Structure 1
Amino acid sequence: MDSPFVEVADRVWVSRRPWLDANVTAIGGDDGLLLVDTHGSRSAGEDVAAGVRGLGAGPLLGVVNTHWHFDHTFGNGAVLAALGPVPVHAHETALAEFTAFAAEARTTRAVAGHPESEGYHEEVAATELHAPDHTFASVRVLDLGGRLVELVHPGRGHTGGDVVVNVADADVLVAGDLVEQSGAPCYGEDSWPLEWPLALDTVLGMLRPSAVVVPGHGAPVDREFVQDQRAAVGIVAETIRDLAARGVRQSDALAAAQWPYLPEGLVHAVARGYEHLPRSQKRLPLI
């Protein structure tokens, strides 16, 4: 098995995968398990399924995809083939994004955007896609038997269809890529940089001081870490607004301000932020 599941709270196990440092989480109830994310390929999903089976914590009851990206969804088919047909839950926008973009994400060009995926291109390209098939708009509650788990769409941030998974009785929240520990938050071509801080405000409202937060990538963190990351993504959003309001050209924005993250990681944040700002909040570029 590539990476074992480690129990981080009562019947909540996290497998931190070496490839992309991505997390897969298993949540147990009296009736069986809920799996959150399935990693990035058929073979990765097969390894995840072996790990779930090794827990001996009951049958798989369902899968949740925290968003559509390949490193969280491309293991869906392998997991279901190994552990049985179960519902795959996701936000309705995540399904629309998966339908629109997942096939392209199998190509070398798309996966090449992740340097850590060197050597995995053929594996990803050969993966058969299995889309989420149970969607919701705002909140869904799943009963695992003696344990209720909340699936919540806190707003748009990393993607338009982000979902967090709240295990209230265990004081654990699985945040997907709305929170990242192994690096800076990833602003991609489908991110919502101006709304990301508001989504994290919703997440923070769900967390007690003692909460364990499982990020999309990296080690579990606490509420203070999420607060700090919310402050940083808030600075990104407000800096974009300020620059646009002062008439700074988008092409000049990265060099025109102090940023909380390396500018090269904010190219899409600036482009998407300028795109999403209403015209009333933009001035004509300074000459």
Structure 2
Amino acid sequence: MAGFSEVADRVWVARYPWLDVNVSMVAGDTGLLVLDTQASAELAREVVADLRRVSAQPVLYAVNSHEHWDHTFGNGVLQAEGAELVCHETTAETLPEHAADVRRQAAEEDDPRYAAVAATEIVVPERTFSSAISLDLGDRFVELVHPGRGHTAGDLVVRVPDADVVLAGDLVEEGNPPGFGDDCFPMEWPLTLDTVLSLTTSSSVVVPGHGAVVDREYVEQQRNEIGIVAETIRDLATRGVPVADALAAADWPYDPRALTRAVTRGYEQLPRAQKRLPLV
């Protein structure tokens, strides 16, 4: 059983074994904020049981760090607990199609955990924002900030200023290469992480979307590695190296097998002026 562990003043994190996903909880004197809601309604009910071992306070807000199913499919369960669902405006736009695709694919999997995913009806947050908002937990405010595009177009981070904590979602991942998926923005991700870093101090606790809690130094390292990926893509495209040859044409900070989508997306997102005709 994962359970919630306190990582700062009234800030808890539960690290769940399937997909190594984190769910975070912040308490004020009037209630709770939960960041991310797990990968199915069944798993979200486990989250609620775990958080009730920590606090009997009402759940005021359930926030989605981005659209992906492992962070959003428990929305309905948290809403039933009384939470107002909140996300970035882009996440609200893209979540329905993403959820439909995931449920369809999950129905074809043999793993029984995917049956619960396929059976989950997704609930899209109604409260959205574009740049930043503050949410009131009574004796403390938390800040939701959209620092830019990176892992997805709708990434947000949660800052708890009085506890010096940043809940970073999948803009930061511990122990693995970052999640360069079909909807990532590798050329913008480094600058997005610069904004995240601007919200931290040398003593900050940073909670990634997956893996163990990290510090500012870890985020700086991951920012630099993602920056190398972006600059390498730009260099290869500028020299006319075809996208199909890019992974074999350079040294990368991660296993090249993890960068297939990063390279493809990076080439697609470069302005025409930064691309040359392929070398022949």
| Coarse TM-score class (shorter-chain normalised) | over 0.9
Q: Count residues with an aligned counterpart.
A: 280
Of 140, 152, 157 in structure 1, the residue corresponding to residue 133 of structure 2 is 140
**Greater percentage in strand:** 2
Q: Note the C-alpha offset of 1:99.
A: 2.3
Q: Taking structure 1 as reference, are residues 111 and 275 closer, same or farther at Cα in structure 2, changes over 3 Å only?
A: farther
Q: State whether residues 104 and 110 of structure 1, in contact with CA within 8 Å, keep that contact through their aligned partners in structure 2.
A: no
Amino acid at match of 2:279: L
Q: Letter of the 1:78 partner, please give it.
A: V
Residue 111 (structure 1) shift: 9.1
Question: Corresponding residue for 1:206?
Answer: 199
| TM-superposed deviation, 1:44 | 0.5
Once the two structures are superposed, residues 45-73 of structure 1 have per-residue CA deviations (whole angstroms, 9 ceiling, x without a partner) of 10011112221251110111000000000
1:73 matches 2:72: yes
Q: Give the superposition deviation at 1:118.
A: 4.4
Correspondences of 1:246-265 after superposition (within 5 Å): 246-265=239-258
Contact 1:91 1:137 in 2 (8 A): yes
Render the CA deviation track for 1:243-271: whole Å, top value 9, x for unaligned: 00000000000000000011111111011
Unaligned runs of 5+ residues in structure 1 are: none
Question: Which residue number corresponds to residue 190 of structure 1?
Answer: 183
One-letter amino acid matched to 1:90: C
The structure 2 residue matched to 1:102, chosen from 99, 102, 106, is 99
The yes-or-no answer on 1:177 pairing with 2:180 is no
Residues 117-126 or 25-34, more deviating:
117-126
Which residue is equivalent to 2:22?
23
Gaps of 5+ in 2: none
> Residue 238 of structure 1 aligns with which residue?
231
CA-CA distance at 1:110 after TM superposition: 9.5
CA distance in 2, matches of 1:260, 1:119: 36
Alpha-carbon distance in 2 for matches of 1:62, 1:201: 27
Q: Deviation per CA, 1:132-156, whole angstroms, max 9, x where unpaired?
A: 1110000010010010100000000
The one-letter code matched in structure 1 to 2:38 is H
Distance 1:221 1:135 in 2: 28
Asked if the contact 2:6–2:13 (Cα under 8 Å) also holds between the matched residues in 1, the reply is yes
The 1:156/1:106 distance shift into structure 2, 3 A limit, reads same
* TM-score, length-scaled by structure 2: 0.97
SS in structure 2 of the partner of residue 219 of structure 1: coil
CA distance in 2 between counterparts of 1:201 and 1:106 reads: 34
User: Following the alignment from structure 1 to structure 2, what is the Cα–Cα distance between the partners of residues 227 and 182?
Assistant: 14
Give the root-mean-square deviation of aligned CA atoms. 1.4
Partner of 1:176, secondary structure, is: strand
* Aligned-partner Cα distance in 2 for 1:157–1:31: 33
Which residue of structure 1 lines up, in the alignment, with residue 272 of structure 2? 279
